[in-house]
Structure 1
Amino acid sequence: MSITIRKATEADAPFIAEALLESSRAGKKVGIFDYIFNTSDTPKLLEQLQKFCLTATKSYCHFSNFTIALSDGVIAGIICGYEPRIATHDIFARALEEVGIDESYHERIAGYLLCEPEIDNKTWVCDFMMVKPEFKSFELYKEIVGKSMLTARLKGYRKVQAMVEIGSIETEMIYKKLGFSVIDEKRSEYYEEQFDRPGIMRLQMTL
């Protein structure tokens, strides 16, 4: 298996939308985007997420933050790497406005906001990691996360963090095997009521 890594382009919007939806649901019936866009209709959500990752406003979900892994030339996996100091909550809200979502979405994700990890501006964040089932291997995860961390180092970052739902065992174990350690977690009954998971953990690795 020959693995190559490249930056995502606008043409990758369908795969990015799939990654956003699948990684946010993480095996559950609903994820945060179901609440943000106020629908659990998968085709409709994928259509909205494609538009969202192509907005003029560059939120952390913008296609330019994604890295694609190819196995023998076939798209196999994806990860998002972004700078919280640039991709702020205000930027996220502005990008949502471009696709017709106003700030009332805050009310719909109240459970998430109770468990949202605090990330400082000196940290690089990895998110929305997804590998197609037929391509899953530690080698591929290592390559794609490694590329994101290389970008972080080149930008001067010395810490990389990832946010994982408590109970997402596979994703947690992958990050730990790559050298990340759990540094804290937030739990909420309201979060569990909304998302069927106890809360969110934060993992970190020093570069």
Structure 2
Amino acid sequence: MNIKIRKATEGDAPLLAESMLESSRSGKKKGIFDVIFETSDKKELLALLEKLSVTETKSYCHFSNFLVASVNGEDAGFLCGYEPRIATHEIFAKAMQELGFDGTYQDRLSSYLLVEPEFDKKTFLLDFMAVKDEYHEFSVLKELVQKSLLTARLKGYRIVQTMVEIGSVEMMMVYKKLGFSVIDERRDKHYEAEYGRAGIVRLQIQL
């Protein structure tokens, strides 16, 4: 298997939208973007996420934060890596304004905020890991994560973290196999009622 990793471009926006939606739902019918945009219509969500990935404001969903893995020349996997100290909630709100959404979406995220971990300025964060079904092999995920860890190291970070929903067994196994370990978890009944999962686990690896 010939795997190559490259930085995402603006032209990858449709594929990145799919990876964000798939990852956020994580096998469920409803994810955080369903709540943010107040719709579960897949076509509508993909169109909005595609626009979000190319806004002038570089939120954590911006294409510039993504890596793309190709297998024998075909795009197969995607992973977002960003700096929480730069891609803040305020930056995301500004990107949302570009799409015509005001700050009321934040009220709808109340249950998510109850379990969202707090990240310090010394942390690099991984999110939206997704691999197409036909390429769902550990080797693809491994290459994406290793390249992201190198990026973090070159930016001066020594701590890389990620979030996985409680119950996302496969994703948890992947990160643990790559050297990440659980550092904490947050559970809340309101989150579980809305998203169908008990809460969020935070994993970490030191470089």
CA distance in 2 between partners of 1:137 and 1:51 (Å): 29
Paired residue for 1:171?
171
Please state whether the residue corresponding to 1:47 is helix, strand or coil: helix
Aligned residue for 1:22, secondary structure, equals helix
Distance 1:29 1:154 in 2: 37
Q: In structure 2, how many angstroms separate the alpha carbons of the residues matched to 1:167 and 1:100?
A: 34
Structure 1: distance between partners of 2:15 and 2:84: 23
Structure 1: which amino acid aligns with 2:186? K
Amino acid at match of 1:47: A
Q: Which residue of 2 aligns with 1:111?
A: 111
Give the fraction of aligned pairs with identical amino acids, expressed as a percent. 62
| 2:59 alignment partner AA | S
RMSD: 0.5
- Residue 139 of structure 1: how far off its partner (Å): 1.2
Distance (whole Å) between structure 2 residues aligned to residue 161 and residue 152 of structure 1: 11
**Which residue number corresponds to residue 30 of structure 1?**
30
Q: Which residue of structure 1 lines up, in the alignment, with residue 197 of structure 2?
A: 197
Alignment coverage as a number of residue pairs: 207
In structure 2, what is the Cα distance between the partners aligned to 1:109 and 1:90? 14
Task: Give deviations 1:56-78, integer Å, cap 9, x for gaps.
Answer: 00000000000000000000000
Q: Distance in 2 between matches of 1:81 and 1:56?
A: 18
Q: Residue 101 of structure 1 corresponds to which residue in structure 2? A: 101
Q: Distance in 2 between matches of 1:158 and 1:184?
A: 18
Letter in 2 for 1:23: S
Corresponding position of 1:180? 180
1:44 aligns with 2:44: yes
Give 1:183 deviation, angstroms.
0.2
After superposition, where does 1:1-207 map in structure 2 within 5 Å? 1-207=1-207
Superposition deviation, residue 138 in structure 1: 1.4
Q: Which runs of 4+ in 1 moved over 2 A?
A: none
TM-score scaled by length of structure 2: 0.99
What CA distance in whole angstroms lies between the structure 1 residues aligned with 2:158 and 2:148?
13
CA positional deviation for 1:104:
0.6
Q: What CA distance in whole angstroms lies between the structure 2 residues aligned with 1:204 and 1:25?
A: 22
CA distance in 2, matches of 1:19, 1:102: 25
Distance across 2 between alignment mates of 1:49 and 1:160: 25
Shift of 1:108: 1.0
Instruction: Give unpaired runs (5+ residues) of structure 1.
Output: none
Displacement of 1:136 after TM fit?
1.4
Distance 2:138 2:39 in 1: 34
SS of equivalent to 1:134: helix
Please report how far the alpha carbon of residue 144 of structure 1 lies from its aligned counterpart in structure 2 after TM superposition.
0.5
Q: Structure 2 CA distance, aligned partners of 1:27 and 1:49?
A: 18
